[in-house]
Structure 1
Amino acid sequence: MTQRLDYVRKIIEEEGLGGFLITSRPNTFYFTGFTGSTSKCLVTREKAYIVVDFRYTAQAREQVFPGIEVIEYEKSANATLDDLCLKDNVAELGIEGDDVTYSAYRSLQESLKSVKSFRDLQNKLNDARIIKDGAEIEKIQKAVDIADKVFEQILQFLKPGVKEMDIAAEMEYQMKMFGAKGPSFETIIASGPRSALPHGVAGTRELQNGDAVVMDFGAVFEGYCSDITRTVFIGKPNDELLKIYDTVLKAQLEAINKAAVGMKGKDLDNVSRTIIYQAGYEKCFGHGLGHGVGVEIHEKPTVSPRGEEELKSGMVFTIEPGIYIEGFGGVRIEDTVLLTDEGLKILTKSTKDLIVL
């Protein structure tokens, strides 16, 4: 994994820095392999250190990539960082601005006496994770496979009278039984009128005949996430819900077919959005078509009306159009996909055929 540290050092060189301080959990995992809940990783032009407390010393030594020295601090992490910055002549330091609170920033300013300036370069650091390598894709695929198994099993659990929160609990239990660390985000189960809530996390509502049931969930496998949404029906849905389902499925399949390397995220979003708007649901699709998936459930690229970056081979993201009518109900269909030079590879295998239970 030395190429990941090389990426950080490229930023250091291009920006004229002496080092880069990595503190966010996703980037710490990506650049060091360490999964503990707290640490500070200092990468300089020649060295790399991960500073931890006693609780994590042994774990860090087992997990970190070659070329990273594990240091257990005694007085404080910042005091140790100060010593390291002084030793390695770090006068300008890159930091993760989104992760460093104001109080933490002030503490760094006060503690790191040799550092004269701090620069927020988190976006540049995050860019390293946009293109997935083969090992990452394998882990994402396994996370997707777990979610597919959970969907297959949960269909037997759905019936009138079952609470949304009980469905979510069962799904998250099954994820772990199938080998996941846990869910990649709080499981969304939204039924009946609540299915019109795009992020309607599971509540106490009981399923009823005629309900649409939106299930948006994902699993974490060895640090990588999956994301899938399926909408099923409890008993025969009314004609409007059937029309919505058909429209969303058509919009999703068209985006899958049209996706290509070099296309901007906003243009792919427009493929689905046009179909939904032309069907008469212009005010009913308020979120983006998709988002990147990796060590975080939401990361680059952005596939939305704001998605200006070009899509590239090796990107993993979601395709998830939806239609939501307040007080009535909604439908969303979502797959995790991999973009290749030949087009999209759909990692999710769960059926998108209409399911009436």
Structure 2
Amino acid sequence: MQKTDLKNLSLRETKDLFLELGEKEYRGEQVFNFIHKNMETSISKITALSKTLRDKLKKNYTIGDISILERYDSKIDDTKKYLFLLEDGNIIESVAMKYKYGISACISTQVGCRMGCVFCASTKEGLVRNLTPGEILSEVYNIQKDLNTKLSNIVLMGSGEPLDNYENVIKFLNILHDSKGQNFGYRNVTLSTCGVVPKIYKLADEDIPITLSISLHSPFDEERKKIMPIGNKYKIEEILAACYYYIEKTNRRVTFEYTVINGVNDRKEDLEELSRILKGLLCHVNLIPLNPIEEYNKIKANGNAIKEFKDGLNQNGIATTVRREMGSDINAACGQLRRKYVKG
């Protein structure tokens, strides 16, 4: 019989488990604190419990973990990329980036991805499986332990579509936020989605004020469909309507990610249409230089073109910045490290 992973349980679920075992409720809080605040991974080390109770727990329960398979350190900045080995042999990746305000981690939510965006390496082998809440938490905990510091920000922008793993991602966020664990602020978390419209509405109703980031990449439906298959299911106007609802419910600014591709979405008409559709929306545009992959031979727009695009949006009243390229010497594009390792 497969053992239950205690790391997947919320505080309430952990307390209820101990009540079912005939123990006091506070024992559950002790175990939750041990797992999520102390980031320990062995039941044997929960010294707040008697050895008898620990041995009883070990028969049917475990504390799941992932291990660092490789760590790549950039020589040009303080970016670190991690390849993590899951207990079933699958591999995921995460990135830790150092900023003036602290360290931000880019975290994966799935093994692979089924969204099919043409410029993203993560999706090329399709979706293998969803990550559990405990596995997503383990990315955070392992990075913090490796760097011996608490992360200041977390972005769900690694491999996978977070809203395609909705229940596990929401549980991850709630456990991470719990005051008996990491007590990590919701406002320091950003979730990136390619635009799964029904789940954006659902997320807005969760009462968890994280930052929503939309992978847009074109202001025209027909062009967006060519690079993002999700565009065949949800029109841009539907995504924008969901964003208005999200802002209304959370009072949080929405970010739009826009990978600038030479001759594809950096034209004058793209600038004008993007300015038009975002006018009046509480938002910010983050321009991203294209990270080329072998299956997509387009080239990124040059620095001057990106600057002109940024300046044009700002002049039109759309707050816009260019994402800083980090870790470019360690194969920084999302999904590339995992694919390279798996292929050998």
TM norm structure 2 = 0.25
TM norm structure 1 = 0.24
Q: Higher helix share goes to which structure?
A: 2
